[in-house]
Structure 1
């Protein structure tokens, strides 16, 4: 992993909000480089800054100060519209609550990112079918989300995050709404799909089970990066 080039570069990132006239600093002067193809796990309690960091990396939110570069592009130099296009084309998302559109079938949910990007051609459809087979749901293309279990919905969400071959996938508590066994299966699927596609994966989680699947683990506390380590350096 050390030979891979940087994909995400965060320089002096601080994020603060004002609540009741008081400033609340959510991220403190963060410096971070994430390499192309890396699987990075963000650990920390609720409110430690993990989700805020994912929002800043994605360009959904901007830092109060500092710079974010993804694949050489400075997000702060882009207009809001340009950031939206960049995010839609280059970033995939996996959320805690799946975020599948209930009125669309599995296939329609999966193909939506391709339609939005104007890339729904024959080759893209073949890749989408391969993803469905990889996540074990090729026989559910005509099903609606409410006919799927939570684990099945999350597997479709993972396939959807990868279908447009993004540079980067951001997963925010992807097992938080699942039971322990299903959550472990989803973690293993994410890790396997990461290895298969080579896409950079950044996961914010409370799950200790995710640690041994990652290339690197960052621990956050009160908006500060406390430690960065390899899985084999973490207690089992």
Structure 2
């Protein structure tokens, strides 16, 4: 490898790293505003408890926070990953990444169906899969549709990124469990965003405001199961 090619490769890696950091930052910003109902002051308060390192957990938590929106996302991602794997052929090391992604999507889908019985997800996934299959087979009869379907099934990273950003901006349920926090002054219903020694930073469920609760006043905490 020549010096010029090494420099070009290094620049490409740096650009990819900057792009990933930018997407992570945008996702974090969208989540901050979405969970606080786009309240500037509340978003500013939540920002102090988060960092770029929290994005991975937030992505998973966002997908699981709203079963309905998560189901819509999975209904699109599942046929895309499945058709792409079929087009790649039998599992090899060269397509191991897509196979791993397909397994992850399948696990999320099975868990969602088992927990909430959202069977319509399978129906939507079947419709999306059938539409993609027909467009891919259209060829010369519908070249524009065929090109779009080919782009769609081979652009997993971009599709996942767009889906994550859309969910980040629309899912108002935080990435942590909703709790009933019993205190000496009454019941607080909200999301514990930060739990350092001595206090809890809680996002109230109804008001979408940040409150600080002294842990000495807390008599009990109870998680509330999310509803689809």
Q: What's the TM-score, normalizing by structure 1?
A: 0.28
Task: Specify which structure has the bigger relative contact order, considering alpha-carbon pairs within 8 angstroms and separated by 6 or more residues.
Answer: 1
The structure whose residues are more often helix, as a share, is: 2
Q: What's the TM-score, normalizing by structure 2?
A: 0.29
Bigger radius of gyration, 1 or 2? 2
